[in-house]
Every structure is written in C-alpha cells, then in structure tokens.
Amino acid sequence: MSLSDTPVAPTTTLKPSLAGMTRAEIADALRALGLPEREIRMRVSQIWHWVYFRGARDFGEMLNVSKAMRAQLTEAFALRLPEIIEEQISVDGTRKWLLRLQPVDAFDKGAEVECVYIPESDRGTLCVSSQVGCTLNCSFCHTGTQRLVRNLTTAEIVGQLLVARQRLGDFPDRERPTDGLVPAGEGVRAVSNIVFMGMGEPLYNLDNVMAAIEIMADGDGLALSKRRITVSTSGVVPQFERLGAECGPALAISLHAVRDELRNDLVPLNKKYPIKELLQACRDYPGASNARRITFEYVMLKGVNDSPADARELVRLLKGLPAKINLIPFNPWPGAPYECSDWETIERFSDIVFNAGYASPVRTPRGRDIFAACGQLKSETEKLRASARMAAG
C-alpha cells in the first residue's frame, strides 16, 4: 500500500529537497538561488522552523515567509521525504515501514530501507537505519547476509524521523492515528527516542550519522535530547572517540560473547578489535558516567553463549564500567544457523546479571507477528514482559 503521493522520478527532473538538510546546506541552497547574504540567516531559521518544528510539507504553509519568496522556493526546491511503500502494524502497536529512497540516477528504482516504530505507554522509540545493507557479516544477523548497497545520506537518516513524525501526527496541531498504540498525553511525543539499530553499521557512516543526530537534536526543530538518541555499534573502536567528543549520543555495544574465540565467530569485526580493546574504548568513551551508562547488547543464542558461566563472565568483564545490559531474545530468520535460547535459560542468565546489580535485562520482543520472528515464543514472551516489568520497577 502506498501512503505517499510522491512518485518516483528520475533525478534529472527532481528539484533539490530542503527536508533533511543541515543549516549550512540550506544556506548554500539559498545562496545559489541568489538571495542576498543579509537575508540568508533569517530565511534559514524560518525554513528550519517550518520543516523541522512544524513538519511543513509545502512551502505554501510557511505563512511568515513573503508570498513572492514562497513562490520562489516552490519553483526551485522541494520538501521530499523517503516514501513509505509498505506499512505493517503489529498487534502490540509496533510499526514497520519499508521506505524507498530517492533514486540516485535515472535507472535507479530507489534503494529500500526498513525503519521500525516501537510505542510504549510513556515513550515511542524509532529504530533507524544508517546503511542499505551492511558490510559486516555477523553470523546471527539477517542484514549481514545482504550486500551493502550504500551509506545513507544525512537527509535520508533524518528523513526516517520526519516520515515517522508525519505518519504519526507528531507535529504541533496534527492528529495522531487511531489505528495503533501511539502514546498520547500532554507533552508526550509519539517519537521520543531514536536508536540506530536498523540496517547497517552506523560507525562506518559516521559523518552522516553525526550530522543527522545534530539535526535531530536541534532545539529549534526536531528537539530530541541526545541522551535519548542511542548509536549501536558492533565495535568499530577507532570511531568511539570522535562520536563521543564531537557528538555525544548514548552508546550501545553489540557484545554478544564474552570470549574472543566465540565473538570472532559471531561478530567477525572482533578479529580486528578484540573484547579487551573494545571494553577499554568503552571506559574511555567521552561522557560515559553512571548517569549516562553504556548499553551492552547480548543476543541469546541457544547453546552458544547462554550458559551461567557466560553470564558470570559478562558481569566480571563489565565490572567498573558504567553499564546497562540488554538481553535480546534471538529473532530467527530463514536459514539462520541459530535458535533462540529457552525461556528458563534466559531467566537463569538474567538472574545472574540482575543479582550483580543490573536492572531491566531482557528486551521484550516486539512486533514478532510482523517480523514473523520468535513466533514459537509467544507464551514465553508474556513471561518476559512480566519479568521485564519487575526488573524495571
């Protein structure tokens, strides 16, 4: 089902889209249009406000911009977003969107990425992609089996948030949809958190990811707190310093194993940056503190990494680090060489982690019906929910 009226057209006929641009890029675009230098700053602020704060889809909406200027902007530019080509809504309110990106040339039908929205009662998390596919080949990850097509641009990353806010009525004076569980209430935004846990390795596209975060966190626009933006990495150690010092989002590490031998298998990047180096880079991550903990993700693979000894070693390794641990039940995919750990095993693992002082350890699987994943774990999922609530409360 197509929810957008934007047809895919060859780039040659497309006007540059200001939606997703940085302030500097918008200024350059206006300069190219011949606007006098003294006017540019003000125009950038106006456009910024309309696109990122109000969610305008048309230059005609920009009422504090003169009519002549609006016509000039319409003539020269567009406010184009990635197109939702498919939307699936889970019984738990999770939405998965398949987005088609703007074609790069006349022959390109437009690359596609996935973006997932996960509503909870007091927050809404948008899981965004940073690349089309991924060059790393983690053995348990479906994305890793696809060949990398390309890095996403800054505008395409920001575009995922803009599309989500448009679709969810998450701009001032817009209606929230009633066909799902979108959080409502005074001052509660439908999208309050971002996680870079969709397709791709964000630290292999660091410049665009950081530029996108700066736009998402801009107080005059999309206004998400950097503390609520989490970048998840499989461990591209040399990039941690820049990410922390220049941008400062929350960091999540896909650890998944406590011994190098096993981690080399699961996350092959470990051969380049082994566990010891990875954890040192975490200790050195600028801004990490007990108030700003690093999340360690650990996917539960039956008989592979889920023993009590693994749990005890995990706790030992993270000692002294400001850490949170997130246990992720494995989501199977066709041909996957693993199974999800049994509930009892996850519970035993999570108890060891919990008794060592880490709260909220199990990530509740969401939207399994639309991912067609972990379907056989339905009853276990109910238990996980109760347990996650207890751990959080």
Which residues sit opposite 252 in a β-bridge? 232, 295
For residue 257, the minimal CB distance to ligand SF4 (Å) is: 13
Which one among 62, 118, 127, 138 touches ligand SF4, defined by CB under 6 A? 138
Nearer to ligand SAH, 40 or 98 (CB): 98
What phi and psi values does residue 181 have, to the nearest 5 degrees? -95, 75
Q: Is 134 annotated as a binding residue?
A: yes
Residue numbers 27-46 binding ligand SF4 by CB under 6 A: none
Token pair 């981690």 is found at: 263
The contact mask relative to ligand SAH for 284-323 (x = CB under 6 A, - = no) is -------------x-x------------------------
Among residues 61, 87, 112, 374, the one annotated as catalytic is 374
Contact 247, 74 (CB under 8 A): no
Query: Which residue in 140, 285, 296, 358 binds ligand SAH (CB under 6 A)?
Result: 140
Say whether residue 331 binds ligand SAH (CB under 6 A).
yes
Contact pattern from residue 169 through residue 208 relative to ligand SAH, giving x for each residue in contact according to CB under 6 A and a dash for the rest: ----------------------------x---x-------
Q: In the chain, what is the greatest distance between 2 CA atoms, to the nearest angstrom?
A: 70
| Beta carbon nearer to ligand SAH, 50 or 240 | 240
Residue 232 assigned ligand-binding role: yes
Binding flag, residue 136, ligand SF4 (CB under 6 A): yes
**Per-residue b or e along 292-326, where b marks 16 or more CB atoms closer than 10 Å to that residue's CB:** ebbbbbbbbbeebbbeeebbeebbebbeeeebbbb
141 vs 212, beta carbon nearer ligand SF4: 141
Q: What is the DSSP letter of 268?
A: G
Residue nearer to ligand SF4 on the CB measure, 136 or 215: 136
Look at residues 86, 107, 104 and name the one whose alpha carbon lies nearest to residue 95: 86
C-alpha to C-alpha distance for 80 and 158, rounded to whole angstroms: 12
Q: Which of 386, 329, 330, 317 is nearest to 358 (CA)?
A: 317
Ordered alpha helix ranges (H), 219-342: 240-242, 260-266, 275-283, 308-317
Distance CA 359, CA 46 (A): 44
- 234 or 326: CB nearest ligand SF4: 234
Q: Which of residues 248-267 bind ligand SAH (CB under 6 A)?
A: 254
Contact 229, 215 (CB under 8 A): no
Bridge partners of 125, per DSSP, are 118, 193
**299 contact, one of ligand SAH, ligand SF4, none, CB 5-8 Å limit per kind:** ligand SAH
List the one residue from 328, 346, 353, 388 that touches ligand SAH (CB under 6 A). 328
Q: Is the dihedral of CA 188, 159, 109, 143 positive or negative?
A: negative
User: Which is it for the CA torsion 37, 38, 39, 40, positive or negative?
Assistant: positive
Tell me the one-letter amino acid at 131: Q
Per partner kind, with CB cut-offs from 5 to 8 A, the member of ligand SF4, ligand SAH, none near residue 349 is none
Query: 145 vs 225, which CB is nearer to ligand SAH?
Result: 145
CA atoms of 335 and 393, how far apart (whole Å):
38
Query: Does 115 qualify as catalytic in the annotation?
Result: no
**Rounded CA separation 236/52 (Å):** 31
- The nearest distance, CB 83 to ligand SAH, in angstroms, is 23
Give yes or no: 114 in active site: yes
Applying CB under 6 A, the residues found at the interface with ligand SF4 are 134, 136-138, 141, 143-144, 200-201, 234, 254
List the binding residues for S-adenosyl-L-methionine.
200-201, 232, 254-256, 331
Binding residues for [4Fe-4S] cluster: 134, 138, 141
Residues that bind ligand SAH (CB under 6 A): 138, 140-142, 197, 201, 232-234, 254, 297, 299, 328, 330-331
Active site residues per annotation:
114, 374
